[in-house]
């Protein structure tokens, strides 16, 4: 089966007042220490997160931050910062020491970058900035930055009814996304059960896995489910979907949709089908629930496809996500 990644309970923190700075710093340091960081390495995390959070509190518009274990590497800490501020026209200039752009993460960005083990930024004037950074202890391996998934519950709910899971054996990546019907704990139960069934039957291939999930969700609320298998040797994507889950092969010139059949896993379905697609070398596979509008246009984000999967997923969550439903988005770089 190889490496397994499952969705986490992502806890997005609004960076709106000074109290958020300390809370984010403490959360990041605690997580780093739990992953074996020594005092010096945990100190780097504390300074970088404090600086990023402080900049957002002072200057960003609708700034939020996420601190979590890195999805690809248990020993690493990932921090994602999103805002809807004025953005930066020249990110490379903002990374130089001494450069400041009021209203963006450009203030201190160069210093923040030096304290991370890796980072990626995407910013556009008038649309805001996304900063993804990760931290590892010295001499620890770095994550592959091949896949990232993000979840966000509706409104003030504490659990998300959407979930994802993936496996990677070095040549083949399998990924599943489930949008549990409704929201709250019952929806979350359905999507977690879909994840369990996916991991249990992942070797069977997308349409056979989808059939097992469809049969297994009959005792739950059910949901919309998508399953994809990426063969990096052949350069192909095999896909099977049931219900209102969106799946795309994106590239700098646009995107190609992958077909789901109507229905609800666990209850009603037409004949399940599997479709085969080719994916260009510079493509990114994107799956998302209907907590994101499918009207986004990848060509309106110059350079985004070349960024890390976390930056791609966070940008789409910010701009296409709706607060009227749970949201889940996965970005996968098939050839990384």
What's the confidence (pLDDT) of residue 269? 85
DSSP letter at 265? B
CATH number at 10-135: 3.30.565.10
DSSP element (H, E) containing 180: strand 172-180
- Of 200, 271, 206, 270, nearest to 238 by C-alpha is 206
What's the confidence (pLDDT) of residue 81? 95
What's the confidence (pLDDT) of residue 296? 97
List alpha helices for 130-279, DSSP H.
Answer: 185-201, 206-216
Residues of the chain predicted below pLDDT 70:
90-107, 336
What pLDDT, in 10s, does the model give residues 208-234? 999 999 999 999 999 999 999 999 888
Residues of the chain with CATH 3.60.40.10: 147-332
pTM of the model: 0.93
Q: 238 in helix, strand or coil? A: strand
Collect all residues with Cβ–Cβ distance below 8 Å to 104 and sequence separation of at least 6. 55, 59, 60, 83, 85, 86, 87, 88, 94, 123, 129
CA 196 to chain centre: 20
What's the confidence (pLDDT) of residue 102? 47
What's the confidence (pLDDT) of residue 95? 62
Residue 279 backbone class (left: φ over 0; alpha: ψ -120 to 50; beta: rest)? beta
Q: What are the structure tokens assigned to 16, written together? A: 């709106």
Residue with tokens 């910010």: 318
Residues of the chain with CATH 3.30.565.10: 10-135
Q: Are 5 and 165 in contact (CB under 8 A)?
A: yes
Architecture of the domain delimited by 147-332: 4-Layer Sandwich (3.60)
What's the confidence (pLDDT) of residue 336? 66
């Amino acid at each position: 089966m190889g490496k397994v990644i499952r969705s986490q309970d992502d806890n997005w923190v609004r960076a709106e007042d000074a109290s958020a700075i300390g809370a984010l710093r403490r959360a990041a340091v605690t997580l780093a220490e739990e992953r074996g960081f020594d005092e010096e390495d945990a100190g780097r995390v504390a300074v970088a997160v404090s600086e990023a959070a402080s900049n957002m509190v002072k200057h960003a518009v609708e700034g939020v931050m996420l601190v979590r274990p890195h999805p690809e590497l248990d020993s690493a800490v990932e921090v994602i910062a999103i805002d809807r501020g004025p953005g930066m026209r020249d990110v490379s200039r903002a990374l130089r020491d001494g450069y400041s752009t009021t209203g963006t993460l450009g203030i201190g960005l160069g210093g923040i970058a030096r304290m991370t083990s890796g980072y990626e930024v995407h910013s556009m004037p008038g649309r805001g900035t996304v900063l993804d950074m990760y931290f590892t202890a010295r001499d620890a391996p770095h994550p592959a930055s091949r896949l990232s998934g993000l979840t966000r519950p509706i409104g003030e709910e504490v659990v998300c009814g959407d979930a994802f899971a993936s496996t990677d054996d070095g040549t083949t990546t399998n990924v599943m996304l489930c949008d549990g019907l409704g929201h709250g704990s019952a929806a979350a139960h359905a999507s977690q059960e879909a994840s369990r069934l996916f991991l249990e039957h992942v070797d069977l291939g997308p349409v056979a896995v989808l059939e097992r999930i469809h049969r297994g969700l009959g005792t739950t609320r059910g949901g919309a489910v998508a399953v994809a298998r990426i063969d990096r040797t052949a350069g192909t994507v095999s896909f099977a979907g049931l219900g209102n889950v969106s799946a795309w092969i994106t590239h700098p010139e646009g995107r190609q949709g992958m077909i789901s059949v109507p229905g609800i896993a666990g209850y009603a379905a037409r004949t399940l089908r599997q479709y085969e697609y080719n994916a260009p070398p510079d493509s990114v596979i994107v799956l998302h629930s209907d907590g994101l509008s499918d009207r986004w246009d990848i060509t309106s984000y110059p350079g985004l496809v070349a960024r890390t999967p976390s930056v791609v997923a966070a940008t789409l969550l910010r701009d296409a996500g709706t607060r009227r439903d749970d949201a889940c988005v996965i970005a996968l770089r098939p050839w990384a």
